Amino acid sequence: MPELPEVETSRRGIEPHLVGATIQFVEVRNGRLRWPVSDEIYRLSDVPVLSVQRRAKYLLLELPTGWIIVHLGMSGSLRVLPQDAPPEKHDHVDVILSNGKCLRYTDPRRFGAWLWASELEGHPVLAHLGPEPLTEVFNAEYLYQKSRSKKIAVKPWLMDNKLVVGVGNIYASESLFAAGIHPDRVAHSLSPEDAKRLTQAIKAVLAHSIEQGGTTLRDFLQTDGKPGYFAQELQVYGRAGELCRQCGTAIKSGKHGQRTTFWCPCCQH
Ligand SMILES: [Zn+2]
State the pLDDT at residue 257.
Answer: 87
Report the distance separating Cα 219 and Cα 235, nearest Å.
23
Q: What is the pLDDT of residue 215?
A: 55
Question: Residue 262's beta-bridge partner residues?
Answer: 253
Q: For the chain, how many residues are written? A: 269
Q: Cα of 252 to ligand 1 centre, how many Å?
A: 10
Does 150 carry a binding-site annotation? yes
Q: Are strands 45-48 and 51-55 parallel, antiparallel or unpaired?
A: unpaired
By annotation, the residues acting in catalysis are 2-3, 57, 259
How far away, in angstroms, is 235 Cα from ligand 1 center? 9
Phi and psi of 130, rounded to 5°? -75, -175
Q: What is the pLDDT of residue 232?
A: 54
Q: What are the structural domains of the chain? A: 4-117 (3.20.190.10), 140-263 (1.10.8.50)
pLDDT digits (tens, 9 = 90+) for 197-250: 999 999 999 998 888 775 544 444 544 444 344 545 789 999 999 999 999 999
Kindly give the parts of the chain with pLDDT less than 70: 214-232
CA of 248 to the centre of ligand 1 (A): 6
